[in-house]
Structure 1
Amino acid sequence: MTTVTTRTVTYPADGLTMVGHLALPAGAGRRPAVLIGPEGPGLNDFQRRRADALAELGYVALAFDINGGRWFTDPQEMLARLTPLLADPDRMRGIGHAALDVLRAEPRTDPDRIAAIGYGTGGAIGLELGRDGVNLRAIGTVNGLTTGRPGEAARIRCPVWAGVGSEDPIMPAEQRDAFAAEMQAAGVDWRLVVYGGALHAFHHPPVDQPADQTVLPGVGYHPKHAQRAWRDIIDLLAECLPVTE
């Protein structure tokens, strides 16, 4: 296993102080880099470990924040934060650009070789960066199959991979179809993997909840598909953003 260096980074975005997790691979030279966006509740150790795993593969990786250092355990609090955010592409892009600026400012980052992957809201933010014309090498989104403003998907300049559970009520078949139609009409190099039997957030291991709180309906972990989705993302990066010495 290679030696990975990590540190916490704070930066302003969306009127908040964001608290991200930066992981650097061994060595001293510039490396391709990956933004990792969290799902709606916020950034936690799951994405931090994903950043560390990517650093072990040779990438500079930034697991970015969307909630100002908060992890929401109350679904209603989370929805109060996310519903207006997801309805405002410019706010999502602002959060994404702020994280991208942090990643580009890292001396180990090759600024011309960056990909964005994310889960739920974090995946939607990656898509919005693509729709904003950002020079990314790949976009991967799990559970974040949002559609954008008309015509803006034509500005996506890289392959897009998307994964979703077949039984996800938050990203139902109609949403999947709308996403696919948008990508196809825009001439994007896109793929959509539907994981049979999986619910929303199928990739995320269970998180301890307070006794008086419940997770949103339709959310559930699927260990096999979680591993498969991660392998699919690694394959996407290997294809579009290979690590070369």
Structure 2
Amino acid sequence: MTTITTRTIEYPADALTMIGHLALPADTGRRPAVLIGPEGMGLSDVERRRAEALAELGYVTLAFDLHGGRYLSDPEEMLARCLPLLADPDRMRGIGNAALDVLRAEPRADLDRIAAIGYGTGGAIALELGRDGADLRAIGTVNAVTTGRPGDAARIRCPVWAGVGSEDPIMPPAQREAFTAEMQAAGVDWRLTVYGGALHAFHHPPVDHTVPSGVGYHPQHAQRAWRDIVDLLTECLPVTK
């Protein structure tokens, strides 16, 4: 029985040497491709496993890096890097486009069928790729209902799905409303799923380090959010054998 293959890829972005995780389906043909962006702490085994799960479904998948191969387990260090990043659309686009270039360079990737999904900071980067006019077939985010510069959302050319916890203090109702207003005004095909009772990063299994207040795992909603992402990809980038 053939299995998926994986490898790490180093590439430059944001004045750092990023270390991404590429997962390839078991066959040899071209397949739709997916970028996965991690939470603000950085690329971890959680995103690597998700990349491999998508490869098992037939997608060429790259889980991209945020911090030059580092995982920022200290919340203060993470916020010190991520807050300025989230306030700078050009930096986010630079990180996203560098990863997109790596994915496009993979011979197995179908360049006409690429999606970007992400969690937290990685989801904000996926949205900024859309606002930058990237040729994507779908954008999916969890914990990232961020808004962009005025008018940029009109450049999004694909369906957008976003999931957020109802009790997420980082993405509160006012932020959700601003995001949906932006998408609607831009004529985007958008959907928002609110998971009742869930906090920020509800999709992320428990970690062995301190997490900020308002963050917590919700196993049922984590499974539902994953199914919603797979459904988005199935709709917009169906895998044909």
> Could you tell me the TM-score, scaled by structure 1's length?
0.97
1:105 aligns with 2:105: yes
Confirm or deny: 8 A CA contact 1:2 1:25 kept in the other structure: no
Per-residue CA deviations over 1:133-185 (Å, capped at 9, x if unaligned) read 01100000000110000001000000000000000000000000000000000
1:52 alignment counterpart: 52
CA–CA separation in structure 2 for the residues paired with 1:94 and 1:43 = 17
1:93 alignment counterpart: 93
2:221 alignment counterpart: 225
CA–CA separation in structure 1 for the residues paired with 2:2 and 2:38 = 25
CA–CA separation in structure 1 for the residues paired with 2:60 and 2:81 = 29
CA–CA separation in structure 2 for the residues paired with 1:63 and 1:208 = 22
Letter in 2 for 1:33: A
Task: Tell me which stretches of 4 or more aligned residues in structure 1 moved more than 2 Å.
Answer: none
Per-residue CA deviations over 1:79-125 (Å, capped at 9, x if unaligned) read 11001100000000000000000000000001111000000000000
Letter in 2 for 1:164: V
Letter in 2 for 1:235: D
CA RMSD in angstroms, aligned pairs only: 0.8
Equivalent of residue 234 in structure 2, options 202, 222, 238: 238
Q: How many residues align?
A: 241
1:30 aligns with 2:30: yes
The runs of 5 or more residues in structure 2 that have no matched partner are: none
Letter in 1 for 2:112: D
1:79 alignment counterpart: 79
Per-residue CA deviations over 1:168-219 (Å, capped at 9, x if unaligned) read 000000000000000000000000000000000000001111xxxx210000
Between the two proteins, what is the percent identity of the paired residues?
A: 83
CA–CA separation in structure 1 for the residues paired with 2:132 and 2:185 = 17
CA–CA separation in structure 1 for the residues paired with 2:148 and 2:215 = 24
Alignment of 1:171-182 (within 5 A): 171-182=171-182
The runs of 5 or more residues in structure 1 that have no matched partner are: none
CA–CA separation in structure 1 for the residues paired with 2:134 and 2:74 = 34
